[in-house]
Structure 1
């Protein structure tokens, strides 16, 4: 039975490697289109009092639970959040007091590391994880390694066993898809690899657009994408946000020959 299961896994891995996110070397450079979303709010309605003899109003008390922080929020509390995320290694760009996509991606990553619901909203539990300084742990213990945890859906930069930066990522969904008349599984194979090639721009791949991909396993790469949900959704690659991929390129964080561990 074990041999049969091993054979099935091996066949699935081969099929994935053959397809991956990419399958040839053409590339096309372009500027990524910005993606903007804004939360909608509905006005609240109240019920007028029908008391003929109203009682004197009580002194209002402060809400013991601060308002949750979510995308679209602005102000000093957001700045403090961004600074704390950066302090813990969750990359979210510069602290500007505006809760945008970069901050949401970092909150996703924190929630994953803490084992919380991945909603991108800073409520009581997420704030507690911030206060406690929750950070993911590395598998490697020597050298510089890019670690991709499929279970936690995190991409981590690790130096000598210490996680220096953490990113929200989205890996293979394990769903079936068709390409060139064959059925493939959208999986990200586990293993130890190294970055072998890269493209500085958009790659118009057979399965979608890849921004500045860093290939480490055949057609499978770490790359930027306009959509990076907090769950597995790719054809096999490890997606990062466009801004995160730009940061990694600009600071040469994933040069050629960098070790990549997927587990």
Structure 2
């Protein structure tokens, strides 16, 4: 009973946040406030997954949109666009990307992590590509306005249709160059609303954006994010590609134990032959010696 009530409270608070936040709010740590209108609470916490339908799905989409994670249309169906948007949100919040909205994801929706820049000198208008987490973030006015899941270079050699090379998305500082609207077809496949930033490497929409690096070097984004990114990225805008190291959890260093000083044992006194000292006295001395060793 207590677990069900706790789940209902979390889900209900998310619904309240989703229905009261203004559109366009950048991704930031948002604390729940009693000023939010209370939405109807579900009977129990619901795990949402691809194919789920209902008001919960609709409110999750609104919440993600307001946090800068564009889920496509605000329908009542958990579709493929929401699936990849949830991946992006989970990765940005330190969660493993899964095909469902479970309790950790509900909790992250309630208290999301703040998006932090990959570079400190990037400027207010820029795009950052995180190769490790496979996330692309567009910054405008110093705020993250669009965060999306991506698939980048597979980092392997390939030979396709007589064209050979090494599939990689190089780390570096670049600038937006040519922009090609609509579908375009090259030697290695089709691209949707391409934005070139490093020679023949572009950010473009694709029908295949898996959870692992799979491209020939380009940055694939879900189709529903291709047009918004195309409109946001203008010629000359900086693009920063990084592969951040995994931050190890910092644990307090263990203090070395102080070495205890063990008193040296005194050797038992030799028996005295003088009158008044008998063997019991020598036995007592041995006992004292053993005591000092403890």
- The answer on 1:88 being equivalent to 2:67 is yes
Going from structure 1 to structure 2, the CA distance change for 1:79 and 1:181 (only over 3 Å counts) comes to closer
* Structure 2 CA distance for partners of 1:162 and 1:151, relative to 1, 3 Å: same
- Residue 204 of structure 2 is matched in structure 1 by 223
User: 1:76 pairs with 55, 62, 67, which one?
Assistant: 55
Instruction: Note the C-alpha offset of 1:182.
Output: 6.9
Alignment of 1:138-153 (within 5 A): 138-140=117-119, 141-153=122-134
1:194-233 aligned at under 5 Å gives the runs 194-233=175-214
Matches within 5 A, 1:38-117: 66-117=45-96
Partner deviation per Cα, 1:104-158 (whole Å, 9 max, x = no partner) = 1110101111222212310111112111123431124523001111011001011
Which of 95, 103, 113 does residue 124 from structure 1 map onto? 103
Normalised TM-score (structure 1): 0.70
- Provide runs of 4+ in structure 1 moved above 4 Å: 61-65, 179-183
- How far 1:62 moved relative to its partner? 6.2
Partner of 2:157: 176
SS of residue paired to 1:213: strand
Asked if the contact 2:93–2:112 (Cα under 8 Å) also holds between the matched residues in 1, the reply is: no
Q: Is the 8 A contact 1:110 1:134 kept in 2?
A: no
CA distance in 2, matches of 1:257, 1:130: 34
SS of residue paired to 1:200? strand
Label 1:182 to 1:228 Cα distance change in 2 as closer, same or farther (>3 A): closer
Distance in 2 (alpha carbons) for counterparts of 1:85 and 1:79 = 10
Match of 1:136 among 115, 124, 131: 115
Work out the CA distance in 1 between the residues paired with 2:96 and 2:200: 31
Q: Is the 8 A contact 2:4 2:45 kept in 1?
A: no
Give the Cα separation in 2 of the matches to 1:135 and 1:173. Answer: 29
Structure 1 residues 194, 222: CA separation in 2 closer, same or farther (over 3 Å shift)? same
Greater relative contact order: 1 or 2 (C-alpha under 8 angstroms, separation 6 or more)?
1
Query: What SS does the corresponding residue of 1:199 show, helix, strand or coil?
Result: strand
Deviation at 1:232, TM superposition (A): 1.3
Q: Compare 98-107 and 174-183 and name the one that shifted more.
A: 174-183
User: Aligned with 2:109: secondary structure?
Assistant: helix
Decide which structure has the larger Cα Rg and report it.
Answer: 2
Cα distance in 2 for residues equivalent to 1:195 and 1:142: 15
C-alpha RMSD of matched pairs (Å): 2.1
Q: Distance in 1 between matches of 2:155 and 2:170?
A: 10
C-alpha contact 1:142 1:159 (8 A) present in aligned 2: no
- What residue is the counterpart of 2:169 in the other structure? 188
> Counterpart in 2 of 1:241?
222
Alignment length (residue pairs): 201
Any stretches of 5+ residues in structure 1 without a counterpart?
1-60
**Is the CA contact (8 Å cut-off) linking 1:149 and 1:262 kept in structure 2?**
yes
**Residue 201 of structure 1 aligns to a residue in which SS?**
strand
Query: TM-score, structure 2 length as denominator?
Result: 0.63
Residues in 2 aligned to 1:100 and 1:183: alpha-carbon distance in whole angstroms: 36
Residues 220 and 237 in structure 1, CA contact (< 8 A), matched pair in contact too: yes
* Aligned twin of 1:30: none
Could you report, residue by residue, the CA deviation over 1:62-91 in whole angstroms, capped at 9, with x for unpaired residues?
A: 696623111111111111111111121111
